[in-house]
Amino acid sequence: MTAQPTGGRSKKIAIIQSNYIPWKGYFDIINMVDEFIVYDDAQFTKNSWRNRNRIKTPKGPVWLTIPVATGGRFGQAIDEVEIADRSWAEKHWRSWQTHYAMAPFFTSFAPKVEALYAAAAKEERLSLVNMTFLKGLGGLLGVDTSLTWSRDYTVNGSKTDRVIALCQAAGATAYVSGPAAQDYIEAEKFTAAGIDLIYMDYSGYPEYPQVHPPFDHAVSVIDLLFSVGEKATTLMKSFGAADRP
């Protein structure tokens, strides 16, 4: 599959492994680009953001973790990972209810988030659970970026070469990367391929009143929605940005 921008127009893409109920920065990258490729044929790593995220409680941040089957499955790809306990969604939603019932916009957004958990509970694989939340939470934020899978494209190579191959297959003229990739990405290969390399800057996010202080940025975007409601996007970087495609 190969997609080309029409009429010589530029096309920004990002390629990131799926996360469970990600933080606001993840959705900022999605909103910055024209196409977001979910890189879920990469190897699954335990104790990562793939199947867990953090919420605030009176005793501090805690993890909500989706139990997954890993025994005897070393090397499995993210899109092969199966849910090990189908009651996880009910338990996670109960945690949101317990710790966020007093949040200013919990009543407004709770039915929509609960519906996402009900839909996710029906899925048997982690990738589909994560995509359910990416689409649903993105919709609540007003994100309209096209979401695709890395497996939708037939490409070769590994590491930087594979990312570039995906960019080329998707018809990208620019690639938006998380800042941590600066430690290992081979920037000269993007230059040689004629693809602009852009690094996301996560610094400078404003704080907002959280239901359980002290403030912590590294929590699910659901915390932001329950805390400030429809004003959530005013505390994110990409919405209304001049360089938004």
Q: Which range marks the domain in which residue 183 is found?
A: 6-235
Evaluated on CA atoms 59, 65, 67, 69, the torsion sign reads negative
**Per-residue model confidence (pLDDT) at position 8:** 60
Q: What is the CB neighbour count within 10 angstroms for residue 42? A: 18
Indicate the residue type of 203: S
The position carrying tokens 């996301």 is 200
pTM of the model: 0.93
The total number of structural domains in the chain stands at 1
**Per-residue model confidence (pLDDT) at position 72:** 77
**Per-residue model confidence (pLDDT) at position 4:** 47
Residue 76: inside a domain, yes or no? yes
From its phi and psi, is residue 8 left (phi > 0), alpha (psi between -120 and 50) or beta? Answer: left
Residue 65: inside a domain, yes or no? yes
**Per-residue model confidence (pLDDT) at position 71:** 82
List the chain residues with pLDDT less than 70.
1-8, 240-245
Distance CA 192, CA 240 (A): 32
Residue 47: inside a domain, yes or no? yes
Tell which residue, 224, 223, 217, 218, has the closest CA to residue 239: 224
**Per-residue model confidence (pLDDT) at position 70:** 87
Residue 242: inside a domain, yes or no? no
Q: Helices 126-141 and 221-228 sit at what angle, rounded to 10 degrees?
A: 30
Q: What is the pLDDT of residues 174-215, one digit of tens each?
A: 999 999 888 889 999 999 999 999 999 999 999 999 999 999
Residue 244: inside a domain, yes or no? no
> Residue 111, preceding bond cis, omega within 30 degrees?
no
- Give the angle 210-216-222 at the CA atoms, nearest 5°: 60
Residue 224: inside a domain, yes or no? yes
